[in-house]
Chain A
Amino acid sequence: MDELTKVRELYGRPDDDPFAKTRVQARMRAATRRRLPWQAGVAGLATAAAVAAAVFVPGLTTSAPELSPSPGNSTIALSGHSILLAAAARAEAAPEGAYWHVKRLNTIRWAKPYGKKGDTYQLESSSITEDWISEEGRAWTGYKNLATRPLDEEAWRRDGSPTEWKAERGDSSISPSEGRMDHGAFSTSPGEGHLGSFQDKKKFRFSGEQLTLEEIKALPTDPEALKNRTLEALHVGVERSADDHLPMALASLLYELPTAPEVRGAAYRALAALPFVKVEGHTKDPQGRPGVAIAFPSLYDQSTPNRLIIDPDTSMVLAFLNAGVPDKNNSTEVVLESGWTDSEPAAPSAE
């Protein structure tokens, strides 16, 4: 492995913070008396956020389950609202253990075509990541690449059935940031499992803030107070776009962060109270597990909402789907396990 590769691995790839752009714009406005110098008139950069906030495509939200019980049927169809409230009650009763543990399967369908002219195909890559946090705040992270697969096997065979691809910078059909995958390679063989530990106290990203474990544990357990605290975390002098980010930030409390059961319960209740969060009804996650889909507007693309699939019986989040956008990398995040456990951290072995 050469030095440049080692340097890249040392630096890693920072998680794209979805709120950074808004905060940087806010800083620039503050430095230039509220209006970005290249912004003529009132439109400009705020437009995309405003559109995302306002529009929710009706066709996708019609399946709100009915309130009335079906005659002759002992099961009562729960309203979307009560499904979330039931999940909240389950969340509050969830067991605790020595480690907060989240195991996820991330799958990305890359927009960029691979292969040679005339025989191009898309790649789907996936990886397993696991995170543990002990009660004292020590943290471990595990990682394993799974096999990458071509989505069009015929085209892949015509391309000579390659087993490795250099991840390349994209063309102009995808944004420069997403195209900058020149850091790695895809392989049809799975990689090895790795486990790393953070020796010092880890901080956790909650919307725009970095919180210690103590601060995460001290989050409000009252839904309204939690919503306000979340808005505060989102808000760095930005006037209007906080609502767009709110469901995503609340969702992070449901499965990503080592929150107390009462906080998870409050997050479900806060989500249930948001007018633009829609419970779409029963569905299956990408692993085929049954759950209930909750949709909320995507930040940038108003035609395709983000979806969270939860298991209302256990309150666990099963998957986060960010998919269906043409010319974009579609990603899904499946939560294979999430919750408090007594099992020790170990490198991921397989699914």
Chain B
Amino acid sequence: MVQMETVDKSGGLRPPIVNISLPSTIDDAKAALMKSDSNGNNVYDHLTDIILRVLEQQSDDAYSKFEVLSSDVKASKLAPKEELSGLQHIEEETLDLKLANTRSNLFKSLELLEGEDTTILPNEGDFPDLLEESSMFEWGGVGLGREETVRLQLSMKRLLESNPLKNVRLFGKIYGRKRDYIIVESEFKEGEGAATKEEEPKENEVKHEDSESETENAEKETPAQTTNLEIESEQRSGTNRFSYWVQSAEEGWELLPDVTPAQVVASRKIRRFFTGDLTSSVDKFPHFPGNEANLLRAVIARITAATVISPRGYYNLEEEEVDALEVPQIQVNHEFEGLDPADLLRMNNWVHHYPFILNQGRCTFFRPSQANANEDEDDENEEEIEMGPRLLTDLSEDNQIGRHDAWTAKLSSTITSKFAHVILRSNRWPGAHAFAKDDRFANLYIGFGLKYSDKPFSPELPSSIQKEAKQPQECVDPSVQEEEEIEQRTKLESEEQEGSEDEEQDESEED
């Protein structure tokens, strides 16, 4: 009983100081265990809860988990009981809910979304079977996942329906530091374009595009202009034949601006991770004319030119002999029946069907003198036309990377090679893949948008420091006497030449 009194005085917080003896009866022991601390917790209840938890979970390793269980039980007591607090819990709009809301629109038809009065003509554009393609790529170990692909397909269909596009193709995905870009390639119908979207009359379209690119160039390329004649960007051909739509974080599609040769050239000299924000600035040396959207577009142009490939025979050149200054046209060979997997493992049975980009940043050589119509220069430049590999050049002619080939080909399956198809992986642009089975093929890029190099990157050095201007020479200040002499002399001279008009001049000299 003495013990109990001490405990009461200290409020149950301090253990009794005097003469500790074990409780003699069960009731005493129970009472000792049930002593509550200031928060009203006691060992007895806690042990009860733990034992209950062990029995509930029936886990085999309850002994080893004992400490965890104990802390779990304690933690669950700390959680506020909803019915007691009287506060209403309001569900916040979480990220996944937001996503689900935007995604659910994809599954509805356009008529439903835009109201019944607007009748929308279905756009019969060319449209890939993404699911089929993705399962082919999955054999090669690449892909975005099936559910993602279905959503992407719906989203691309929506893009095709709501824009005047001839076709859409999935380019792939470029990783960003904050967000990734999903990129789709498309071709506008004849006479349609980015400009027409903004309620421009069709007649003015070409002019509008021109003026737009001019103003853009004027804004962005002022430093480059001083050094060289400006290289015109291509309109609806070469690097700008296709337009690219980008989607980041499922917020609809955004059209990327056309690429200029200067941007292609500058993008080759820098290496940069994408951030995921199209408007972020590209602060690299040498200067890149534009923001991340322009850089992305330039990198896409380079990737497609280097890695979009097809089996030999799928495309034919429309005309065998083409002018060196034009991109040759290709057409689908409808009689193409596909190549054997064994043949497709060889690089000479794959061809590039996107034109090569020259050092100039264009697919066709641009003679600056064309604009000037200077005949002398024209003659000189005739010999210096830069030529890249022809369209439909096969992959065996791709440059090697150090000791390695530019491409790695392999069969999708080693065990059941009877049904296997061939998957190619680019070593120059890590992340670029292609597959071909029967008469089908597709390309897909998933990566950082960085070209591989076997040498460490060394940025271009700043240009050499310009020579300082000559120091002005020192000379002795004229004395007052000398000044007066000069003054008098000039006065005399001017009076001799013209009498009346020289008053102003005199004043200025005196100043």
User: Is the A/B pair a real complex?
Assistant: no
Using a CB–CB cutoff of 8 Å, the interface residues on chain A facing chain B are none
Task: Enumerate chain B interface residues (CB-CB to A < 8 A).
Answer: none
